[in-house]
Amino acid sequence: MKTAQSPQRSTSFASRLLAELPGPGLDEVYAARVLPLPRRRVELLGRITPARVQKALWGFEVRMGRRRKICPDEVTARYLRLFAVLGLDIVSIPYNPVETSHILPELEMAFRQVHETLLDEALTDPSVEQLRRRFPDVTARPRSFEEIVRDLDSGPEVRRWRRRYHRGKRRVYQLLCRRIRAAEAAAAGGSS
């Protein structure tokens, strides 16, 4: 019988991983740069999902599963995609797209750092060395998790390793969402 992991353990993993980031975290950039500005709220899907930006007839759209969110420009679409991937249900976005375009590179860099830290954590897993001995074609420093999976077969140890990676990613995303919601609540409480 499997036992459920304690929420404290999963939170400590996510907290430790976010504390190891070299620069400011996504939640810190959001709280410092977005929340002080005049902003509007946009509803998103509300669950972790792959999202992509796509050119549409009247602008751009963010595709989140089967749902689409129409955006007037690419900057707004990239901004919304970032938070849709995290799984936020509502996100604040500055009214002025020029301000959004100044903030977006910092947010994307923080998001990239989260992914690089997750990948480094996955590569330090002891089972990776066993997998590398079995599959010598795996690249030494892959650019993405998908690149590793493409090099491996779908054996049971690979599936377990993939499950651990995605579980850790989900924990980090959930913690980021909680921190962003807390920052929004603090900003709403401070402005009243």
User: What is the average pLDDT across 73-78?
Assistant: 94
Give the pLDDT band of residue 2 (cuts 50, 70, 90).
very low
DSSP category for residue 41: E
Euclidean distance between the first and the last CA atom of the chain, given in angstroms as a whole number: 50
* pLDDT on residue 165: 82
Over 90: is that where the pLDDT of 40 sits? yes
pTM: 0.82
pLDDT digits (tens, 9 = 90+) for 163-186: 888 888 899 999 999 999 999 999
- Structural domain contains residue 1: no
Question: Measured between alpha carbons, how far is 88 from 94 in angstroms, rounded to an integer?
Answer: 16
What backbone torsions phi and psi does residue 34 show, to the nearest 5 degrees? -95, -45
Count the domains in the chain.
1
Residue 2 forms part of a structural domain: no
Judged by phi (left if over 0) then psi (alpha if -120 to 50, else beta), residue 65 lies in left
Integer Cα distance of 65 and 113 in angstroms: 25
Instruction: Report the C-alpha dihedral over residues 51, 56, 59, 60, rounded to 10 degrees.
Output: 10
Instruction: Identify whether 170 is part of a domain.
Output: yes
pLDDT of residue 77: 95
**3 vs 50, more confident:** 50
pLDDT at 127: 67
Report residue 115's pLDDT band, with 50, 70 and 90 as the boundaries: confident
The reply to whether 33 falls in a domain is yes
Residue 4 above 60 pLDDT?
no
CB atoms within 10 A of CB 39: 18
The whole-angstrom separation of Cα 40 and Cα 94 is: 6
In this predicted model, which residue has the larger pLDDT, 143 or 38?
38
More confident residue, 148 or 88: 88
Q: Kindly state whether residue 142 falls inside one of the protein's structural domains.
A: yes
Is 130 a domain residue? yes
Range(s) of the domain holding residue 79: 7-191
